[in-house]
Amino acid sequence: MSIKSKLDCPECGAPIYFESNLLLTGQSFSCSNSHCDVSIALTATDKEVVSDAFSKFEQIRNTASSQAG
Amino acid sequence: MNTNIASQFSGLPMKALIGAPLKAATDANAMIANAQTQFILTTCFEKSNDSGNQLVPKMVNFTLSRSVIEKDGSISTQPIKMDISIPLMTLIPINSLAIEKLKVSFNMEVKSSREIKKKEDREQKDVPSKSRRTTMQGRRQRSTHGKKQNSEPSSKPQQAHDFETELHGSLAKSAQGEQQSSAAHASYEVTLEAGQLPLPNGITTILEIFSKNMMPLPSKQ
């Protein structure tokens, strides 16, 4: 399951919205500020670290959902 | 009646009805917060090689692309790629982990209704009796008797007429039928809402520092 998140643009501070599954495939995401042409993409070397972090986060979120449900 | 209706609620385990779901939600939130803290400490931080047990944020590398201005003042046609190291913690939407709203509501309705209808129809036929029998004769006699004292007795013979009356009656109480109805209604509703607490100041500060200090560096060619 994909996790939607955001990252502050290093140039203008506007949010850069991304989805975890697309980020892990190496896709680049552009800044939401139309005047800023920054785009970022995860490097292949750190893909495993980020994937592991999102998986653990997903587990906690599922636990929270089951508790709330 | 109202007192009786109110007493219907006295046996309700309000403490359990309201408190149990709230406590369950609080426990769940506490468990989530604990798991979240452990997740942040173990996944988003790592022990520093330099200083013993000190935790330092785990960084992940991104490639940043942006246009630059050329020496002649024009915007570059090919974007420049730069490396940027971002704390892993800033990628995780930590603040979404909580039970946002808890609503406990129930309705209880007690209705009591009673209706009594009474209809009475009675027919009565009065038969002639001594008391109701009127005789014109009696009056006549009394009248003539009075005349006797004041004047000469009449030469005409006394004429006596007997009249009998019968009274037929019907007593109906249908219009006055008794009707008693009572209805009581009581509802009880309890609504609780528990909102999401904001992130602790420490985490917010850390995230702000991380966000403000992300500086892209030119990629090594």
How many angstroms away from the CA of A4 is the closest CA of chain B? 8
Residues 6+ apart with CB under 8 A from B81: B63, B64, B65, B219
- Which of B72 and B154 is assigned the larger pLDDT? B72
Does the beta carbon of A57 lie under 8 angstroms from any beta carbon of chain B? Answer: yes
Q: Could you tell me the residue range of the domain that residue A57 belongs to?
A: 4-68
How many angstroms away from the CA of A48 is the closest CA of chain B? 10
Does A39 have pLDDT greater than 70? yes
- Which of B21 and B55 is assigned the larger pLDDT? B55
Percent of chain B whose pLDDT exceeds 90: 9
Note whether ipTM > 0.85 here: yes
Q: For residue A4, which of A58, A42, A63, A44 has the smallest C-alpha distance?
A: A58
B101-133 pLDDT, tens per residue? Answer: 677 776 666 666 666 666 666 655 555 544 444
Q: Write down the pLDDT at residue B93.
A: 83
Q: Write down the pLDDT at residue B73.
A: 80
Number of domains in chain A: 1
The answer to whether the CB of B105 falls within 8 A of the CB of B97 is no
Q: Write down the pLDDT at residue A18.
A: 94
Helix or strand or coil: residue B96?
A: helix
